[in-house]
């Protein structure tokens, strides 16, 4: 039982549910308390123990259904019957001519399986199969057969399966380990014996052998999905890091968000280090007492419940003009997740005129917010000078020593007035100015790019067009703060 | 006492029934969580939208087991002096005064400074002792003689630091007080701990790892109907069905805050006060502020009232 559980947890981890060893132990305890008899109860209990967010719970349910599908494969087979019934029959027909008859009789609905299992039982009273596998197949106990399959699967280490090309091999291996050879021999001898009833039995055996093969194939398929996905996922993550952010699809957004989350956390950590002792506030009786004990209990040196954590204040300005159109999606994604994570992010977008989108981001979903921002501000021609002028007019007052200003853009100003002095003013007032530029460093100084002028007014300028870059920016941020 | 507790939590079915007799209708999942929490001695972290009965679950459990419910409401800035313990400073100060006066008696007969100091050391250190300790909810829960239900409400509202403070309590049912040592719960009287969270921020993995995690979603129509029946027994069958299907319909809409169970119950009570027999669009319009808490939401729903009400009325014909 423990073995099964450990395997199941491996599956959960593959599916991106974080299960710690401590939780594995918990799960084992749960199994001891509630047993494994009631499937629904088991599912609830394990779900409570192992999955810790609503998303994880959903994934958990899927994994549980897949993994423990044998426990009630009767139902499952009936439900899914029609789905693969056809496929099942044609394969069989091509492989053995005899079986096609019985299958046609029982109809191609997939219930065929169940019917034929029953038929065998009825007609088989006169003769007994001799081989172990044969006996098992002809007994009506499907659960026993499945248990046998699972056992065989474990023996040949089916959970090591990695590539879909291995499916055939593993199916064969399981068949072999279950004693296919003996069964074949038996069918052979029965066929040559000549008596009608024995021929009939041989036919039955053949028939159920094919059904068994089919089942094993499904089992292998499922196990493949459960076990082989992990290596695929690693591969994907590796790739993802190097993919240019302009190509990032929405489905990867989850991963982007995680990275941004890390980054934001670091930002917060940096900020909260700046604690200040206050000269007033609540009296810290404990500290005061301790301190003043040495003065004979006279309250001489008074201590306050001192430190107040600074809330980080981040102002983020994002270029969504035509020249960065391929990146703006990512930049906005970044902006959106940043404002989701940090409480006091003010988000701005511009092509030429600056507009605040903080409220929009707070209220809408990612898709909506992106679409609306692009509609309102997007794809015009860039004018950094105008943006900075707007910023100075309306928001300069909000910049102080606690503010970090992050600018996302390529710095291409269409040869307009760059208004560098405004950026310099921000630079002087803010705690930090960070410029993240999606273009490679070599093209920063070419054409209409004004990075040469802007860069000295930033505490930090970084190339940022892939997740690896983003990670690097995060670690640089860390270093910068000390 | 402990045998009684054991009985009440013997199987999941019994728990469900006991809850029902206390007018708390739950599904198997919730009962399973309580069952496991007791048998594994693990805290339960309950998450879900506001108003689905997270806090109520803890309170009902306490009532069911007839144990005291110790509640700690979390908020920003909550620290150990409010959650675990505080010294009784006034008494400590008085103690030092008394000590000063009696000092000569204690030191009587001591010759020289060394002897006096060693005599002082022999003298027990009462200044930091349990007598001067003011227990706060967490410590109180550990010291409760009969065991208790500890409810740490809205843990997501507290700071990260406080979360880490909870870890010792949650994994070992003990608390360390630097001046005294470790306070442990009695082995068979460990408190049954419930934490609730509205998910305003992500709870740290360390805390999650130590807890069983129960997610309570909005109930489906059947369950909600049962809940309303249990909570508002006076309501007529017809009206109850209509209310529930109306609310279920609202939850499908794109609202800032969808109505929760507590709103359904409030609404049912309101309608009884108004002697309502059947839901009408006008009536809904007048009482909409009971179930919707934002003006925007009310405006969104206003225009749809006719259709939703008709739908809800049809529901009863099924």
Q: How confident is the model at residue B268 (pLDDT cuts 50, 70, 90)?
A: very high
Contacts of residue B62, Cβ cutoff 8 Å, sequence gap at least 6: B68, B69, B148, B149, B151
Q: How confident is the model at residue B69 (pLDDT cuts 50, 70, 90)?
A: very high
* Longest CA–CA separation in chain A, Å: 113
Query: Which range has highest mean pLDDT (A204-213, A276-285, A371-380, B19-28)?
Result: B19-28
Residues in chain B closer than 8 A to A30 (CB atoms): 36, 40
Q: How confident is the model at residue A368 (pLDDT cuts 50, 70, 90)?
A: confident
Q: Looking at residues B147-151, what average pLDDT do you find?
A: 92
> Given an 8 Å threshold on Cβ–Cβ distance, is B36 in contact with A20?
no
> Given an 8 Å threshold on Cβ–Cβ distance, is B28 in contact with A40?
yes
Q: How many CA atoms lie within 13 A of B316 on its CB side?
A: 16
pLDDT at A268: 56
Q: How confident is the model at residue A303 (pLDDT cuts 50, 70, 90)?
A: confident
Contact with chain A for residue B27, Cβ under 8 A: no
Whole-angstrom distance, CA of residue B178 vs CA of residue B185: 17
Are B232 and B303 part of one and the same domain? yes
Query: Between these two residues, B73 and A102, which has the higher pLDDT value?
Result: B73
* DSSP assignment letter at A251: G
> Given an 8 Å threshold on Cβ–Cβ distance, is B36 in contact with A57?
no
Phi, then psi, of B87 in degrees rounded to 5:
-85, 150
Q: Looking at residues A191-219, what average pLDDT do you find?
A: 80
Closest approach of A46 to chain B, Cα-based (Å): 9
Residue B305 lies in a domain: yes
Give CA separation, B81 vs B22, B77, B176, B193, in Å.
35, 11, 13, 20
Residue B21 lies in a domain: yes
- Please choose, from the candidates B167, B171, B138, B168, the residue with its C-alpha nearest in 3D space to the C-alpha of residue B153: B138
pLDDT at B59: 92
Q: Looking at residues B216-231, what average pLDDT do you find?
A: 89
For residue B198 the two structure tokens come to 């509205």
Tell me if residue A291 falls in helix, strand or coil.
helix
Residue B50 lies in a domain: yes
CB-based contact A361:A335 (threshold 8 Å):
yes
* Longest CA–CA separation in chain B, Å: 99
Q: Say yes or no to pLDDT of B151 above 90.
A: yes
> Given an 8 Å threshold on Cβ–Cβ distance, is A41 in contact with B89?
no
- Please choose, from the candidates B28, B61, B20, B27, the residue with its C-alpha nearest in 3D space to the C-alpha of residue B44: B61
Tell me if residue A403 falls in helix, strand or coil.
strand
Are B97 and B235 part of one and the same domain? no
pLDDT at B33: 92
For residue B71 the two structure tokens come to 């509640």
> Given an 8 Å threshold on Cβ–Cβ distance, is B209 in contact with A51?
no
Are B15 and B76 part of one and the same domain? yes
> Given an 8 Å threshold on Cβ–Cβ distance, is A297 in contact with B81?
no
Q: Looking at residues B20-42, what average pLDDT do you find?
A: 89
Could you report the per-residue pLDDT of B230-248, keeping only the tens digit for each? 888 888 888 888 889 889 9
Q: How confident is the model at residue B264 (pLDDT cuts 50, 70, 90)?
A: very high
Closest CB from B40, B47, B92 relative to A26: B40
Q: How confident is the model at residue A89 (pLDDT cuts 50, 70, 90)?
A: very low
Residue B157 lies in a domain: yes
Whole-angstrom distance, CA of residue A144 vs CA of residue A140: 9
Q: How many residues does chain A have?
A: 482
Beta bridge partners of A449: A412
Cα-based angle A18, A23, A24 (whole degrees, multiple of 5): 100
Q: B76: phi > 0 → left, psi -120 to 50 → alpha, else beta; which?
A: beta
Contact with chain A for residue B213, Cβ under 8 A: yes
CB-based contact A158:A223 (threshold 8 Å):
yes
Query: Between these two residues, B159 and A296, which has the higher pLDDT value?
Result: B159
Q: Say yes or no to pLDDT of B312 above 60.
A: yes
pLDDT at B57: 92
Q: How confident is the model at residue A239 (pLDDT cuts 50, 70, 90)?
A: low
Last residue of a domain, one of B181, B215, B249: B215
Query: Between these two residues, B49 and B314, which has the higher pLDDT value?
Result: B49
Q: Say yes or no to pLDDT of A262 above 80.
A: no
A25-84 residues touching B, CB cutoff 8 A: 26, 29-30, 33-34, 40-41, 44-45, 47-49, 51-54, 57
A215-234 residues touching B, CB cutoff 8 A: none
Whole-angstrom distance, CA of residue B37 vs CA of residue B39: 6
Query: Which range has highest mean pLDDT (A13-17, A173-177, A331-335, B172-176)?
Result: B172-176
CB-based contact A405:A435 (threshold 8 Å):
no
Are B159 and B42 part of one and the same domain? yes
Per DSSP, chain A holds a count of helices (H) and strands (E) of 21, 8
- Please choose, from the candidates A349, A280, A345, the residue with its C-alpha nearest in 3D space to the C-alpha of residue A319: A349
Are B265 and B119 part of one and the same domain? no
For residue A130 the two structure tokens come to 């001799």
- Please choose, from the candidates A213, A153, A154, the residue with its C-alpha nearest in 3D space to the C-alpha of residue A180: A213
Give CA separation, B290 vs B262, B265, B267, B286, in Å.
10, 10, 6, 9
* DSSP assignment letter at A415: T
Helix (H), strand (E) at residue A69: none
CB-based contact A264:A338 (threshold 8 Å):
yes
> Given an 8 Å threshold on Cβ–Cβ distance, is B12 in contact with A41?
yes
Q: How confident is the model at residue B153 (pLDDT cuts 50, 70, 90)?
A: very high
Give CA separation, A183 vs A125, A177, A191, A214, A323, in Å.
19, 12, 12, 16, 71
Encode burial over A188-216: b for 16+ CB neighbours within 10 A, e otherwise: eebeeeeeeebeebbbbbbbbbbbbbbbb
Q: How confident is the model at residue B46 (pLDDT cuts 50, 70, 90)?
A: very high
Contact with chain B for residue A269, Cβ under 8 A: no
Give CA separation, B305 vs B42, B235, B272, in Å.
46, 22, 20
CB-based contact A270:B71 (threshold 8 Å):
no
- Please choose, from the candidates A191, A200, A180, the residue with its C-alpha nearest in 3D space to the C-alpha of residue A124: A200
> Given an 8 Å threshold on Cβ–Cβ distance, is A54 in contact with B89?
no
- Could you give the angle at which helices B54-64 and B28-40 cross, rounded to 10 degrees? 60
Q: Say yes or no to pLDDT of B222 above 80.
A: yes
Residues in chain A closer than 8 A to B217 (CB atoms): 54
Phi, then psi, of A118 in degrees rounded to 5:
-65, -45
pLDDT at B310: 84
Closest approach of B134 to chain A, Cα-based (Å): 13
Whole-angstrom distance, CA of residue A399 vs CA of residue A404: 8
Are B235 and B297 part of one and the same domain? yes
Are B28 and B63 part of one and the same domain? yes
Mean pLDDT of chain B: 86
Q: Say yes or no to pLDDT of B193 above 90.
A: yes
pLDDT at A124: 44
Q: Say yes or no to pLDDT of A79 above 50.
A: no
Last residue of a domain, one of B161, B190, B215: B215
Contact with chain B for residue A194, Cβ under 8 A: no
Last residue of a domain, one of B215, B246, B273: B215
pLDDT at B61: 92
Q: Say yes or no to pLDDT of B87 above 70.
A: yes
- Please choose, from the candidates A336, A319, A328, the residue with its C-alpha nearest in 3D space to the C-alpha of residue A253: A336
Closest approach of A239 to chain B, Cα-based (Å): 27
Neighbours of B76 (CB within 10 A): 8
Contact with chain A for residue B126, Cβ under 8 A: no
Contact with chain B for residue A243, Cβ under 8 A: no
Q: How confident is the model at residue B275 (pLDDT cuts 50, 70, 90)?
A: confident
Residue B119 lies in a domain: yes
> Given an 8 Å threshold on Cβ–Cβ distance, is A48 in contact with B12?
no
Contact with chain A for residue B4, Cβ under 8 A: no
pLDDT at B68: 92
pLDDT at B213: 92
Whole-angstrom distance, CA of residue B129 vs CA of residue B179: 8
Task: Please state the domain count of chain B.
Answer: 3
Q: Say yes or no to pLDDT of A61 above 60.
A: yes
> Given an 8 Å threshold on Cβ–Cβ distance, is A52 in contact with B45?
yes
pLDDT at A476: 64
Residues in chain B closer than 8 A to A285 (CB atoms): 87, 89
pLDDT at A7: 83
> Given an 8 Å threshold on Cβ–Cβ distance, is B89 in contact with A22?
no
Query: Which range has highest mean pLDDT (A429-438, A452-461, B147-156, B175-184)?
Result: B147-156
pLDDT at A77: 40
The domain spans of chain A are 2-67, 72-239, 257-274+310-480, 278-309
Are B195 and B229 part of one and the same domain? no
Are B152 and B242 part of one and the same domain? no
Are B153 and B22 part of one and the same domain? yes
Whole-angstrom distance, CA of residue A30 vs CA of residue A37: 13
Query: Which range has highest mean pLDDT (A118-127, A221-230, A371-380)?
Result: A371-380
pLDDT at A270: 52
Q: Say yes or no to pLDDT of A482 above 50.
A: no
pLDDT at B45: 94
Q: Say yes or no to pLDDT of A283 above 70.
A: yes
Are B297 and B240 part of one and the same domain? yes
Contacts of residue B141, Cβ cutoff 8 Å, sequence gap at least 6: B70, B148, B150, B185, B191, B193
Q: What percent of chain A has pLDDT over 70?
A: 66
Residues in chain A closer than 8 A to B96 (CB atoms): 297
Closest CB from B12, B89, B212 relative to A49: B212
Could you report the per-residue pLDDT of A147-199, keeping only the tens digit for each? 777 778 777 777 777 666 777 788 888 888 887 888 888 888 887 777 777 77
- Please choose, from the candidates A308, A311, A259, A273, the residue with its C-alpha nearest in 3D space to the C-alpha of residue A482: A273
pLDDT at A418: 81
B64-103 residues touching A, CB cutoff 8 A: 81, 86-87, 89, 92-93, 96-97
Beta bridge partners of B135: B85
Q: Say yes or no to pLDDT of A117 above 50.
A: no
Are B40 and B98 part of one and the same domain? no
Q: What percent of chain A has pLDDT over 90?
A: 0
Q: Say yes or no to pLDDT of A469 above 80.
A: no
> Given an 8 Å threshold on Cβ–Cβ distance, is A44 in contact with B32?
yes
Q: Looking at residues A399-405, what average pLDDT do you find?
A: 81
pLDDT at A273: 45
Task: Please check whether the domain covering A257-274+310-480 is classified as CATH 3.40.50.410.
Answer: yes
Closest CB from A22, A44, A45 relative to B209: A22
Query: Between these two residues, A400 and A132, which has the higher pLDDT value?
Result: A400
Interface with A, mutate which of B89, B212, B214, B216 (most A CBs under 10 A): B212
> Given an 8 Å threshold on Cβ–Cβ distance, is B28 in contact with A49?
no
Q: Looking at residues A246-263, what average pLDDT do you find?
A: 60
Q: Per residue, what are the HEC states of chain B?
A: CHHHHHHHCCCHHHHHHHHHHCCCCCCHHHHHHHHHHHHHCCCEEEECCCCCCHHHHHHHHHHHCCCCEEEEECCCCCCHHHHCEEECHHHHHHHHHHHHHHHHHHCCCCCHHHHHHHHHHHCCCCCCCHHHEEECHHHHHHHCCCCCEEEEECHHHCCHHHHHHHHHHHHHCEEEECCCEEEECCCCCCCEEEEEECCCCCCCHHHHHHCEEEECCCCCHHHHHHHHHHHCCCCCHHHHHHHHHHHHHHHHCCCCCCCCHHHHHHHHHHHHHCCCCCCCHHHHHHHHHHHCCCHHHHHHHHCCHHHHHHHHHHHCCC
Q: How many CA atoms lie within 13 A of A402 on its CB side?
A: 15
Closest CB from A52, A54, A286 relative to B87: A286
Residue B137 lies in a domain: no
Helix (H), strand (E) at residue A405: strand A403-408
Closest CB from A20, A48, A57 relative to B33: A48
Residue B290 lies in a domain: yes
Mean pLDDT of chain A: 71
Closest CB from A41, A57, A297 relative to B215: A57
Whole-angstrom distance, CA of residue A186 vs CA of residue A131: 7
Neighbours of B31 (CB within 10 A): 23
pLDDT at B280: 85
Residue of A nearest to B100 (CA): A296
Q: How many residues does chain B have?
A: 318
> Given an 8 Å threshold on Cβ–Cβ distance, is B42 in contact with A26?
yes
> Given an 8 Å threshold on Cβ–Cβ distance, is B40 in contact with A33?
yes
Residues in chain A closer than 8 A to B177 (CB atoms): none
Q: Looking at residues B59-69, what average pLDDT do you find?
A: 91
pLDDT at A274: 45
pLDDT at B73: 93
Taking the model in full, what pTM does it have?
0.62
| Structural domain for B127, as ranges | 85-131
For residue A170 the two structure tokens come to 């593993």
């Amino acid at each position: 039982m423990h073995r099964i559980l450990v395997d199941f947890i491996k599956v959960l981890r593959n599916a991106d549910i974080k299960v710690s060893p401590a939780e594995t132990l918990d799960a084992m305890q749960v199994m001891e308390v509630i047993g494994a008899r009631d499937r629904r109860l088991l599912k609830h209990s394990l779900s409570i123990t192992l999955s810790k967010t609503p998303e994880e719970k959903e994934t958990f349910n899927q994994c549980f259904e897949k993994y423990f599908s044998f426990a009630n494969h009767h139902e499952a087979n009936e439900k899914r019957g029609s789905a693969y019934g056809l496929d099942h029959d044609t394969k069989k027909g091509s492989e053995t001519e005899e079986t096609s008859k019985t299958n046609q009789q029982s109809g191609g609905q997939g219930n065929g399986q169940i019917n034929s299992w029953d038929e065998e039982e009825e007609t088989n009273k006169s003769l007994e199969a001799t081989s172990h596998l044969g006996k098992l197949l002809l007994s009506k106990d499907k659960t026993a057969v499945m248990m046998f399959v699972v056992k065989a699967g474990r023996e040949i280490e089916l959970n090591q399966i990695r590539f879909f090309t291995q499916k055939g091999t593993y199916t064969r291996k399981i068949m072999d380990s279950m004693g296919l050879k003996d069964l074949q021999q038996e069918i052979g001898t029965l066929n040559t014996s000549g008596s009608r009833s024995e021929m009939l039995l041989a036919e039955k055996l053949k028939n159920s052998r094919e059904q068994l093969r089919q089942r094993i194939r499904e089992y292998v398929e499922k196990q493949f999905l459960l076990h082989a996905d992990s290596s695929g996922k690693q591969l994907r993550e590796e790739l993802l890091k190097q993919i240019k952010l302009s190509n990032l699809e929405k489905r990867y957004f989850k991963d982007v968000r995680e990275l941004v989350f890390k980054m934001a956390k670091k930002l917060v950590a940096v900020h909260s280090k700046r604690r200040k002792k206050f000269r007033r506030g609540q009296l810290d009786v404990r500290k005061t007492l301790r301190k003043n004990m040495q003065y004979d209990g006279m309250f001489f040196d008074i201590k306050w419940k001192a430190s107040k954590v600074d809330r980080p204040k981040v102002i983020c300005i994002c270029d969504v003009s035509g020249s960065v159109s391929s990146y703006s999606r990512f930049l906005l994604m970044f902006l959106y997740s940043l404002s989701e994570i940090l409480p006091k992010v003010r988000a701005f977008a511009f092509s030429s005129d600056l507009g605040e989108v903080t409220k929009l981001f707070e209220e809408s979903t990612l898709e909506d917010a992106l679409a609306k921002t692009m509609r309102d501000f997007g794809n015009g021609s860039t004018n950094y000078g105008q943006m900075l002028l707007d910023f100075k007019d309306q928001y300069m007052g909000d910049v102080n020593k606690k503010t970090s200003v992050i600018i996302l853009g390529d710095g291409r100003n269409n040869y307009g007035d760059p208004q560098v002095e405004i950026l310099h003013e921000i630079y002087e007032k803010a705690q930090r100015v960070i410029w993240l530029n999606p273009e490679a460093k070599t093209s920063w100084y070419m054409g209409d790019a004004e990075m040469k002028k802007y860069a000295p007014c930033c505490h930090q300028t970084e190339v940022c067009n892939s997740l690896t870059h983003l990670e690097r920016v995060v670690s640089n941020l860390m270093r910068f703060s000390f | 006492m402990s045998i009684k507790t054991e009985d009440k939590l013997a199987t999941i079915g019994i728990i469900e029934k006991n809850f029902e007799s206390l007018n708390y209708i739950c599904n198997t999942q919730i009962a399973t969580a309580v069952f496991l929490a007791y048998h594994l001695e693990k805290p339960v972290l309950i998450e879900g939208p506001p108003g689905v009965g997270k806090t109520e679950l803890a309170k009902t459990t306490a009532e069911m087991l007839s144990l005291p419910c110790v509640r700690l409401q979390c908020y920003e800035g909550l620290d150990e002096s409010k959650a675990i313990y505080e010294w009784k400073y006034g008494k400590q100060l008085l103690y030092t005064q008394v000590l000063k006066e009696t000092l000569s008696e204690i030191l009587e007969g001591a010759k020289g400074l060394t002897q006096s100091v060693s005599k002082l050391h022999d003298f027990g250190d009462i200044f930091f002792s349990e007598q001067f300790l003011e227990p706060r909810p967490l410590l109180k829960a550990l010291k409760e003689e009969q065991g208790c239900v500890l409810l740490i409400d809205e843990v997501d509202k507290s700071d990260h630091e406080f979360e880490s403070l909870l870890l010792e309590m949650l994994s070992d049912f003990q608390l360390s007080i630097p001046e005294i040592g470790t306070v442990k719960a009695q082995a068979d009287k460990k408190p049954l701990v419930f934490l609730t969270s509205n998910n305003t921020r992500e709870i740290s993995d360390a805390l999650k790892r130590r807890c069983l995690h129960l997610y309570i979603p909005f109930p489906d129509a059947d369950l909600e109907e049962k809940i309303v029946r249990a909570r508002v027994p006076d309501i007529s069958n017809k009206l109850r069905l209509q209310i529930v299907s109306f609310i279920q319909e609202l939850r499908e809409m794109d609202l800032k805050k969808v109505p929760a169970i507590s709103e359904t119950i409030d609404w049912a009570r309101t309608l009884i006060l108004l002697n309502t027999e059947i839901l009408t669009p006008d009536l809904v319009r007048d009482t909409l502020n009971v179930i919707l808490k934002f003006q925007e939401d009310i405006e969104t729903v206003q225009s749809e009232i006719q259709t939703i009400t008709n739908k809800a009325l049809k529901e009863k014909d099924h």
